[in-house]
Amino acid sequence: KAIVEELGGIAERISPVEDDYEKLKSAVTELAERNHVVIINAGSSAGSKDYTARLIEDLGELLLHGIAIKPGKPTILGMIGDKPVVGVPGYPGSAFLVFEEIVNPVIRALQRKRTEKPAQAKAIVSRRIVSTLKYREYIRVKLGKVDEKLIATPLNRGAGVNMSLVKADGILVIPKNSEGYEAGEEAPVELVNDMEVIENTIVSIGSHDLIMDYIGSILTRKGHTLSSAHVGSMGGIMALKRREAHIAPIHL
């Protein structure tokens, strides 16, 4: 609802409807009559009571169920009459990404507006990121600047990892048919935070210790941020040598 309103739309948000086919059908039919677009959150996977795809097929045209992106694989696209219908996965990480990549352009197109492209920058990956060849994968990253180098540290992955949405400074996109990036490689990053905030971040690469999390919380309270990548003691020393970190925690 908040994203739709931010885009200049009027959002009609209804209470959750239980997983009963007839109740869902009635709710979606009414929403399609009153609105330009219908967005159904959750119910897009392959569970026995995930009725969204069947519902759209019965009421209109199911264009596709499942797209080659991660997170967001179970996304559904369809039409009921001349109204676009999007089945958004229920996990927050997936839902947010599908809104950015699919729902946003649909709303912009109906408004006769161009979709705004986020600012991009080149960043050095602080640790290895492995990806499957089957999907275009979106990795949320924490960014920091060491000398003139922008350093990207991948945050915890997974459609249900909510804090990565809050902590991220950028999104690193791994193309389909790519196995990812090695530590030290340069990659394009879409910025979701101001460069002023990024430049106020301390980059820590090395061995992990609980004290780093504690230091990070203290820095946050003082208006700074800590980007911490856990690559082992030797990896931290090598990052310092390459001038890709401000500090390197090590265990001896």
Q: Rounded to an integer, what distance in angstroms lies between the CA atom of residue 34 and that of residue 44?
A: 22
pLDDT of residue 69: 92
The amino acid present at 78, given as its one-letter code, is G
The pLDDT of residue 230 is: 85
Q: What is the pTM of this model?
A: 0.81
pLDDT at 155: 85
- Measured CA to CA, the distance from residue 58 to residue 219 in angstroms comes to 54
Low-confidence stretches of the chain (pLDDT < 50) are none
Cα(229)–Cα(65) distance, integer angstroms: 36
Residue 122, helix vs strand vs coil: strand
User: Hunting for tokens 């161009």 — which residue is that?
Assistant: 114
Closest CA to 203 of 139, 154, 152: 152
Considering all CA atoms of the chain, what is the largest pairwise distance in Å, rounded to the nearest integer? 67
Report the pLDDT value the prediction gives residue 11, as an integer from 0 to 100: 94
